[in-house]
Structure 1
Amino acid sequence: MGKKGILLVNLGTPDSPEVADVRKYLDQFLMDERVIDINAFSRTLLVKGIIVPFRSPKTSKLYKEIWDENGSPLLYYSRIQTALLQEKLGDDFQVELAMRYQNPSILSALEKMKAGLVESIQVIPMFPQYASASTGSVMQKVMEIVSTWQTIPPVNFINSFHDNELVIETFAENARKYKPETFDHILFSFHGLPERQLLKCDHTGAYCLKKDNCCETLNDTNKFCYSAQGHDTARLIAEKLNIAKGDYTVCFQSRLGKEPWVQPYTTDVLKKLAGEGKKRLLVFSPAFVADCLETLYEITVEYHEEFKALGGEHVQLVESLNDDPKFIQALAEMAIA
């Protein structure tokens, strides 16, 4: 029998922090119809005419702040995760890494699997919470490519792992060394999404953003909602650490543009907590399985400086899952699910 193929797919990273490579990355990323889900003509004008030309030099500077001798932290940790998973699973499996945008591409990883004569493919989008713009985009791209093959092996997808016990325990263990009880407040800061994308996930049309606290508890209506799954992740980590509900806040970062995104915004929460006299904040970012620009710079640098300017003292990031053995075990269990 042939090997089982395991495809790990993360979002992506520029090939270098230089403006030209950042421009290529942002162009591919933001032209995805699931990321900026407006008509193609308007998306092209917005992305190619406004966002990419003006944002690329600024984003390049940010990437240069986190780029080190290992290159992109996201790619560095993703490669380690892939190697450790291959080692754990053994020779009966072929584990490949891909990025939804830029390199290594999904196409190149799937071609390696085809050449390896795998008998099946298990795709693990590396996003704990499902979103159309991340997990959904990976699923669509994989299906587009595989659909052109003359022989299509069984293909399966992991939809989300927001409540995976090993993932929850890894985040909790990473936090314990900072002694959460010594902080004034805990934040669970997730990557943001436009509200319209949440509304599209509500097939009833009568629940999302229409019911009070619609995201706070998972149910049949919101089970695929990114925000609801995020709230569930936060609840589970808080319970593991015995953090009372009133001592933590779920919020959303990385807003782009002026239209409404999922709220509350992390920047607004920082202002509120500073106004209440809070001085020390512990921040989780459980939408990411590897530290990257959004954690290493946006939280560690930008939010720390912003909070200090508001009168606070310290914002402490809880590291991501990275190369933790428990996360590799979680991936192994998903690989054979």
Structure 2
Amino acid sequence: MTAKPRTGILLLNMGGPSTLDEVHSFLFRLFTDRDLMRLPWQQRLAPWIARRRTPAIKEQYRQIGGGSPILKWTNFQGERMAALLDEKCPESAPHKAYVAFRYAAPLTETAMGQIMQDGVQRVVAFTQYPQYSCSTTGSSMNELYRQQQKLDPEGKVRWSVIDRWPTHAGLIQALAERVQAKLDEYPVDERHKAVILFSAHSLPMSIVTRGDSYPIEVSATAEAVMARLNHSNPYRVVWQSKVGPLPWLGPAPDTALKGLAKQGHRNVVLVPIAFTSDHIETLFELDKEYGHLAQELGIDGFKRAEALNGSSTFIRAMADVVSEHLAKGESISTQFKMRCFLCPNEQCATTRNFFAGNKFPTSPATNKAG
């Protein structure tokens, strides 16, 4: 019989539809999320946008195998992370990983139901977005608070939060290994000429200018990876997946590729730096759209680094992040306490105040394990 978990780790992510039939509901939840975007007449407009975009997005998922692999990889990473934690932190074992996706199954309410059913009283909400944004981790945390109020109004579960980890040594090492693996595919005399483009999901400039920390955290990750690689190659950060006509953070990958081709560069490594597993934005957008564009532009040395997926270095990093967090005994980080300067959403304050209210004394045993 499996032992009752003593500590839960709730892995937070956007998620993706596992089947083509889930595409519409995924898009509907995404476009109705007011933490992610605020549109005029959103409750009316969002369903129309979701219906309109569903056929094209279904075709993209069809081209990558019929659904997103993000749940497969998140389960894989979580199970192995929990096993490592049982070894590293026996005083808080057994550990169990739960998955809470924001827009696809398993949703936050499903994960909360599993936690309550298992009777777990200590849970770490662990974002799988290494770099914080109010539109990603912030949205997931607001939804977690709402479901906590609905499903656990008595507060039986004690929560703490890992809200960002952009420069954690293990994460940086895992990313550096992915980049180096692609650099090693070039002939030795060509390797140093490759331009490394770190690609992260873009943000509307309205979110950036209100004080979101995401751009600087993504840049910090990129710089740390290149430091680990001894700054062996030139690099830049690019911003993918813009939607709609409003201004978004740039430059986009296509702009960068066109500029590099014009300057005579023929070797380019595109690296997903803000995604912890492959999904539609890597398998379709980076591989198919930008891979095809690179070939058209004459960048015949185009390569795309694999996302972290089953990297043992990354999974060890996940376990290290959690064990270090448990050793600190903190409920939320100093950074999570502060909202964007021009935050339009009072829910963010309510969420932060709730999770800050959980107290965890640091024990000598936990310090030793960490």
TM-score, length-scaled by structure 1 = 0.86
The alpha carbon displacement at 1:35 in A equals 1.4
Q: Distance in 2 between matches of 1:284 and 1:250?
A: 9
1:5 aligns with 2:8: yes
> Which of 174, 177, 182 matches 1:170?
174
Aligned residue in 1 for 2:58: 60
1:295 aligns with 2:286: no
Tell me which amino acid in the other structure corresponds to 2:75.
R
Residues 189, 250 of structure 1: 8 Å contact kept? yes
Tell me which amino acid in the other structure corresponds to 1:57.
P
Aligned residue in 2 for 1:161: 165
Aligned residue in 2 for 1:283: 270
- What is the CA deviation profile of residues 198-234 of structure 1, one whole-angstrom value per residue up to 9, with x for unaligned ones? 1122xxxxxxxxxxxxxxxxxxxxxx51111011111
1:271 aligns with 2:258: yes
Q: Distance in 2 between matches of 1:2 and 1:13?
A: 27
Aligned residue in 2 for 1:115: 117
1:104 aligns with 2:91: no
Aligned residue in 1 for 2:230: 242
List alignment gaps of at least 5 residues for structure 1: 202-223
Q: Distance in 1 between matches of 2:82 and 2:237?
A: 34
Residues 182, 304 of structure 2: 8 Å contact kept? no
Aligned residue in 2 for 1:197: 207
The alpha carbon displacement at 1:182 in A equals 4.4
Q: Distance in 2 between matches of 1:57 and 1:128?
A: 31
Aligned residue in 2 for 1:221: none
Tell me which amino acid in the other structure corresponds to 1:59.
I
Tell me which amino acid in the other structure corresponds to 1:286.
I
Aligned residue in 1 for 2:83: 87
SS in 1 for 2:319: helix
- What is the CA deviation profile of residues 184-208 of structure 1, one whole-angstrom value per residue up to 9, with x for unaligned ones? 311011111101011122xxxxxxx
Residues 171, 318 of structure 1: 8 Å contact kept? no
SS in 2 for 1:157: strand
- What is the CA deviation profile of residues 220-268 of structure 1, one whole-angstrom value per residue up to 9, with x for unaligned ones? xxxx5111101111101111112268x1111100010111101112211
The alpha carbon displacement at 1:53 in A equals 2.4
Residues 11, 125 of structure 2: 8 Å contact kept? yes
- What is the CA deviation profile of residues 258-314 of structure 1, one whole-angstrom value per residue up to 9, with x for unaligned ones? 111011122111111111111121011111000111111111111011122223214
Tell me which amino acid in the other structure corresponds to 1:285.
P
Tell me which amino acid in the other structure corresponds to 1:74.
I
Residues 2, 119 of structure 1: 8 Å contact kept? no
Q: Distance in 2 between matches of 1:131 and 1:187?
A: 21
The alpha carbon displacement at 1:2 in A equals 6.8
Residues 304, 314 of structure 1: 8 Å contact kept? no
Tell me which amino acid in the other structure corresponds to 2:277.
A
SS in 1 for 2:139: helix
Tell me which amino acid in the other structure corresponds to 1:273.
L
> Which of 73, 77, 91 matches 1:77?
73
SS in 1 for 2:220: helix
1:35 aligns with 2:36: yes
Aligned residue in 2 for 1:185: 195
Q: Distance in 2 between matches of 1:150 and 1:276?
A: 60
Report the RMSD for the aligned CA atoms in angstroms.
1.9
Q: Distance in 1 between matches of 2:181 and 2:320?
A: 27
Tell me which amino acid in the other structure corresponds to 1:232.
A
Residues 196, 235 of structure 2: 8 Å contact kept? yes
Aligned residue in 2 for 1:313: 300
1:17 aligns with 2:27: no
- % identical equivalent positions: 27
Residues 5, 96 of structure 2: 8 Å contact kept? no
SS in 1 for 2:136: helix
Q: Distance in 2 between matches of 1:317 and 1:254?
A: 16
Residues 174, 313 of structure 2: 8 Å contact kept? yes
The alpha carbon displacement at 1:15 in A equals 3.6
The alpha carbon displacement at 1:37 in A equals 2.4
- What is the CA deviation profile of residues 129-155 of structure 1, one whole-angstrom value per residue up to 9, with x for unaligned ones? 111111001110111111232331321
The alpha carbon displacement at 1:10 in A equals 1.6
The count of aligned residue pairs is 307
